[in-house]
Structure 1
Amino acid sequence: MPLLIFVTALWAFSFSLIGVYLAGQVDSYFSVLSRVFLAALVFLPLLQWRGLPARSAFALMGIGAVQLGLMYLFYYQSFLLLSVPEVLLFTIFTPLYLALIYDLLTQQLSGWNLLIAAVAVFGAAIIRWDHLSGEFWRGFCVVQGANLCFAFGQVAYRRFAQTHPRLPVRQTFGWFYLGALLVATGAWWGLGTPNYPHTVEQWAVLLWLGIVASGLGYFLWNKGATQVSAATLAAMNNALVPAGLLVNLLLWNRETDLTRLFVGGVVIVAAVVVSGRYNRGRTRTAAAGLPD
């Protein structure tokens, strides 16, 4: 879980950086392409071009195309319709999608996963459920598209890692970014407009988001996702909500209800802690050969 906590802190800045410096100022498709391209550059020098079965390479590319490529297309469009806090609010449904997709793929309906995910959603909902902008429904649907892509990608990578335990991750993760790059390139080519960054700040934000938030962040997040239970992963997805709102409040002075932020954050942290203890207990029980 330390990796997930670290990336959560890292990504907490992304929402505000996009909303303040890029949304409505730089073409969203160019922003996506830049971010994915820079992330791919981080891992291309390490990429294992030979020795990896084509099926595994295509699987990683498919996961990257959905989790990063398609997700970013929805995600960046949402900032044109909603404020930063609203985008954060609408991500609270990701844990439910994650738990449901995981259970469907494993053909096991886990009440525990649903319960922890629901508690995390409740905690995030406490934080901000007030007046929403006029583009509510359209913005809501766009964010849900991003949530579904991100949830599916996390589950798919977990399953991929479980079936390929000896795969050198750093030498093969570049395929993940290449898949996302194909989607981003196609979207920019067909839908993009010549509205490029025109300030040093905007270029600096794109560099940070591409190299650090995406290049380092998605590698560490997916690696961390393989080290925790599905329930804990679902709850950690919603830890981004209070973290993102806190950054938005402290650095850009957006109005946020501090009481709701605190209470909702406590609920989410409690869900993560309880989930971790419960699953560690189950692991010890199984190892001892005792009935669960």
Structure 2
Amino acid sequence: MITLWLITLLWALSFSLIGEYLAGQVDPYLAVFIRMLLALLLFLPLLKPQQLVWRQRLTLAAIGALQIGVMYLFLYQAFLYLSVAEVLLFTIFTPLYINLVDECLLNRRHLPWRWWLAAAIAVLGAAIIRYQTISADFITGFLLIQAANFCFAAGQVAYKRLPTGSNQQQLRNFAWFFVGASLVTGLSTLLFTDWQQTPSNATQWGVLLWLGLVASGVGYLCWNLAAKRVNTGQLATMNNMLIPAGIIVNAVFWQHSTDWVRLLCGAAVITLAVALASRQPTPRL
């Protein structure tokens, strides 16, 4: 669980960096492709192609294409319609998507009721944090975020259920994950990029390097490794811890106005949801 908490803090910073330095300034398709390409280059030297058969390679690439390739295309478009706080707010349903995908599409077994309750509590906690002022473009932004949420949820559960071997084996084959993401985002870049909005200064390139190598490369490897060591309920509820963490970073570093009472109350409720999902079932006598 500690790994999920650390990556949550890492991604909270990344949300603000996107909103402050890239959204509306660098073409979203190009920004996503640069991130995925940098992450791919990070793992290519470690790649051991002979360890996986072609079906396994294609499966891992497909998961990467969905979980972060397609997800980021929706996410970066949403930043054109929403503020950072609104983007974070509209991710509240991700825990429910994770449980839904795991139970109905992949695992095909009934999840413990406690995990569904924890996911619902996590949604409630995120809703408590919600801002009263919502922009006029919120419907478009909301739909884009829900598409991104579903892709991210489906990719997490698919990787969790995929036989991938030891941590060392996963590290040596994780490049395939970014092969899929790079192909999706690369094709989108060729088709839709506005080449008038390329990175134009050192700050933007620095942010992209951070997002590609650290937030995407290290972040997704560690998150997916940790996802295999926790139950579905814990994974689902931890997805919503990004909301209070992201808003806190946005308020502290960029002085955005924040209702701290609601933020702390919502964060406490989400923490309760994580604790509920983490409880071990009581053994029967």
Counterpart position of 1:180 = 181
Give the corresponding residue for 1:25: 25
The farther-off stretch of 224-233 and 45-54 is: 45-54
Counterpart residue identity of residue 31, structure 1: A
What CA distance in whole angstroms lies between the structure 2 residues aligned with 1:66 and 1:97? 14
> 1:123–1:265: 8 Å Cα contact kept in structure 2?
yes
C-alpha contact 1:63 1:156 (8 A) present in aligned 2: yes
Give me the whole-angstrom Cα distance separating, in 2, the residues matched to 1:139 and 1:7. Answer: 25
Aligned to 2:59: 59
How far the C-alpha of 1:171 sits from its partner, in A, is 0.6
Q: Which residue number in structure 2 is paired with residue 165 of structure 1?
A: 165
Structure 1 CA distance for aligned equivalents of residues 164 and 64 of structure 2: 16
Distance 2:60 2:115 in 1: 25
Residues 164, 170 of structure 2: 8 Å contact kept: no
Please give the TM-score of this superposition, normalised by the length of structure 1: 0.94
C-alpha deviations, 1:19-67, integer Å up to 9, x for none?
A: 1100000111110011000111111110112231111100000000000
Deviations 1:170-222 (A, max 9, x none): 11111000000000100000001111111111111000000000000000000
Deviation at 1:262, TM superposition (A): 0.4
What's the counterpart of residue 191 of structure 1? 192
Letter in 1 for 2:190: W
Q: Which runs of 5+ in 2 are unaligned?
A: none
Per-residue CA deviations over 1:243-265 (Å, capped at 9, x if unaligned) read 00000000001111100110001
Q: Given that residues 100 and 114 in structure 1 are in contact (C-alpha distance below 8 angstroms), is that contact kept between their aligned partners in structure 2? A: no
- Give 1:130's match in structure 2, choosing from 109, 115, 132: 132
Residue in 1 aligned with 2:35? 35
Counterpart in the other structure of 2:102? 102
Which residue is 2:158 aligned to?
156
- 5 Å-filtered alignment, 1:66-81, equals 66-81=66-81
Distance 1:52-1:133 versus aligned 2 partners, 3 A rule: same
TM-score of the superposed pair, with normalisation by structure 2: 0.96
Match of 2:70, as an amino acid? L
Contact kept? 2:47, 2:173, Cα under 8 Å: yes
Q: Conserved in 1, the CA contact under 8 Å of 2:114 and 2:276?
A: no
Find out whether 1:271 has 2:241 as its counterpart.
no
CA distance in 1, matches of 2:234, 2:143: 25
Aligned to 2:219: 217
Q: Deviation of residue 128 (structure 1)?
A: 1.4
1:48 aligns with 2:51: no
Query: 1:142 — aligned with what?
Result: 144
How far is the alpha carbon of 1:166 from its aligned partner? Answer: 4.7
Q: In 1, distance between residues paired with 2:49 and 2:115?
A: 37
Percent identity between the two aligned chains: 49
State the secondary structure of the residue aligned to 1:130. coil
CA distance in 1, matches of 2:166, 2:255: 47
Question: Which whole-Å CA distance do the structure 1 matches of 2:29 and 2:92 have between them?
Answer: 24
Task: Tell me which residue corresponds to 1:234.
Answer: 236
* Preserved CA contact (<8 Å) 2:75 2:148: yes
Q: CA deviation at 1:271?
A: 1.2
Structure 1 stretches lacking a partner, 5+ long = none
Alignment RMSD: 1.2
* Distance in structure 1 (CA, Å) of the matches to 2:166 and 2:120: 34
Secondary structure of the corresponding residue to residue 92 of structure 1? coil
Superposed displacement of residue 2, structure 1? 0.9
Counterpart-to-counterpart distance in 1, 2:166 and 2:21: 41
